Structures are given as C-alpha cells and as structure tokens.
Amino acid sequence: MMDAITKAWTELVQPILRRPRRLQVAALCYKQTSETKEVLLITSRGTGRWIIPKGWPMNGKDASEAALQEAWEEAGVRKGTVTGEALGYYNYDKELKTGLPVPVETLVFPVKVKELRDDFPEADERTRKWVSPEDAANMVQEPALQDMLRSL
C-alpha cells in the first residue's frame, strides 16, 4: 500500500504541484592568453556566493544579447563577444524578493572579454575575480555549471 501511495505522490501529485522553470540567460566570461584561459566569476548580491553574470531575458534583445547586457551590468564587461552557441543549461532555485523560491533554468553563452571596466552599474554590490576554469568549477555550486567550466 505504501508503495502505491509513494508512487502516486512522486509520479502524479508532485509534478502537478511543481511550477515550470523560468528562463534566465548567463554569460560565461573568459579571456585567453597563449598559455592559459581564465573565467570571470562574480559574487551574488544576496549570499555572496560565486556565480556567473545572469538575468532574465530582455524585450528587444535575443538571449545572447541579454547575456552580454548582464555581463556589463553585473561584471563590467564593456566589450565582449559571444563566441558560439550556448554551452548548455544549469538549474537552480532563485529566491525572489518575496522570499519564495522559483525554479530557474539558465542558458549559458560563452563570452570572450575584450574590455573590462571598473565603473559599472553593480560595481559596489559585487566582487569579481579571474580564475582558472578548474578553480571556478570548485567555487560555484551548480553541478551542470561546474561541468561546463571544467570542459573549457
């Protein structure tokens, strides 16, 4: 009997109660020298954990353009180029201002940084740091993002 209840809960009730994931776009910012590649991480405003620049899609911009805009606002990437198709997705729960979590699916674009500015919209709200892809993978929390970083 418990198996039937558990199965009904996990296969019928939980999926109905689960809200669909909302889409965010992200910029995996990197720079390349002849010997090394580094990625740019920033801190989140709320918890201070290490993340990549990301945000909601924007009217009038496609997903990669919105990711570039987030790279400017959150990390100071003034000149950058999306260097290919999206690297993939990672999922996380974003806590809204109301305190409620919302499931988010984040589409990640590779962005080659050409110019970084110190004066940008969220400069006094975040810390940024250049690190190796392996170090970055160890600093972020999301497993799928860790995999993307390690594959660079």
Q: Provide the whole-model pTM.
A: 0.84
> Does residue 6 sit within a domain?
no
Amino acid found at 130? W
> Does residue 16 sit within a domain?
no
Of residues 54, 51, 49, the one with CA closest to residue 24: 54
> Does residue 123 sit within a domain?
yes
**Strand bridging mode 37-43 / 50-51:** antiparallel
Give the number of C-alpha atoms closer than 13 A to the C-alpha of residue 23, restricted to the C-beta side. 11
pLDDT bucket at 1, cuts 50 / 70 / 90: low
Give per-residue pLDDT as tens, 24-65.
999 999 999 888 999 999 999 888 999 999 999 999 999 999
28: domain CATH number is 3.90.79.10
> Does residue 5 sit within a domain?
no
> Does residue 86 sit within a domain?
yes
**Rounded distance, CA 111 to CA 125, Å?**
22
Domain ranges, residue 75? 21-150
In total, how many domains does the chain have?
1
> Does residue 1 sit within a domain?
no
